[in-house]
Amino acid sequence: MQINEPLTQQIREHAHRLLDGGEVECVIGYEIGPRGRARPAFVYGPTEVDRLIWGADCVHNLTTYLHDKKKPRKRGEEPPRVAVVVKPCDSRTLNILLAERQIARERVVAIGVACEGVVGKDGQPAAKCSRCTDRTPVVYDVLVGEPPEIPPVEDDWSDLARIEEMSPAERLSFWLREFDRCIRCYACRQVCPGCYCTTCMFERDDGLWVDAAIDVPQKHVFHLGRALHLAGRCVECDECERVCPMDLPLSLLNRLLVREVEALYGHRAGREETLTPLVFELGPEGSPI
Residue 21 Cβ vs ligand SF4, minimum distance, rounded to whole Å: 32
Between CA 215 and CA 184 the distance in angstroms is 9
Judged by CB under 6 A, which of 99, 201, 210, 216 binds ligand SF4? 201
DSSP string, 230-266: TTTT-----HHHHH-TT---HHHHHHHHHHHHHHHH-
Question: Does the protein bind ligand SF4 through residue 248 (CB under 6 A)?
Answer: yes
Judged by CB under 6 A, which of 150, 183, 214, 282 binds ligand SF4? 183
Edge-first strand listing for the sheet containing 26-32: 38-43, 26-32, 82-86, 108-113, 142-144
- Give CA 4 to chain center in angstroms: 22
30 vs 276 by CB, closer to other proteins: 30
Q: Identify which range of 79-87, 126-134, 145-153, 175-183 contacts other proteins by CB under 8 A.
A: 175-183
Burial classification of residue 21, based on how many CB atoms lie within 10 Å of its CB (0-12 exposed, 13-18 middle, 19 or more buried) = exposed
Between CA 59 and CA 237 the distance in angstroms is 9
The angle formed by the CA atoms of residues 256, 260 and 262, to the nearest 5 degrees, is 115
Interface map 12-31 toward ligand SF4 (x if CB under 6 A): --------------------
Residue 155 Cβ vs other proteins, minimum distance, rounded to whole Å: 26
CA-atom Rg of the chain in angstroms: 20
Question: Does the protein bind ligand SF4 through residue 256 (CB under 6 A)?
Answer: no
Q: Identify which range of 3-11, 17-25, 37-45, 125-133 contacts other proteins by CB under 8 A.
A: 37-45
Question: Does the protein bind other proteins through residue 74 (CB under 8 A)?
Answer: no
Q: Identify which range of 78-86, 143-151, 158-166, 244-252 contacts ligand SF4 by CB under 6 A.
A: 244-252
47 vs 271 by CB, closer to ligand SF4: 271
Question: Does the protein bind other proteins through residue 184 (CB under 8 A)?
Answer: yes
Residue 281 Cβ vs ligand SF4, minimum distance, rounded to whole Å: 18
- Looking at residues 196 to 225 of the shown chain, list those that interact with other proteins (rule: CB under 8 A): 199, 203, 205, 211-215
Q: CB 288: neighbour CB atoms within 10 A? A: 12
Beta strands in 133-289 (DSSP E): 142-144
Burial classification of residue 266, based on how many CB atoms lie within 10 Å of its CB (0-12 exposed, 13-18 middle, 19 or more buried) = exposed
Residue among 22, 24, 12 at smallest CA distance from 48: 12
Which residues are near ligand SF4 by CB under 6 A? 182-189, 191-195, 197, 200-202, 226, 229-230, 234-240, 243-246, 248, 254
Which residues are near other proteins by CB under 8 A? 33-35, 37-42, 60, 64-65, 68, 177, 181, 183-187, 190-191, 199, 203, 205, 211-215, 242-243, 245-247
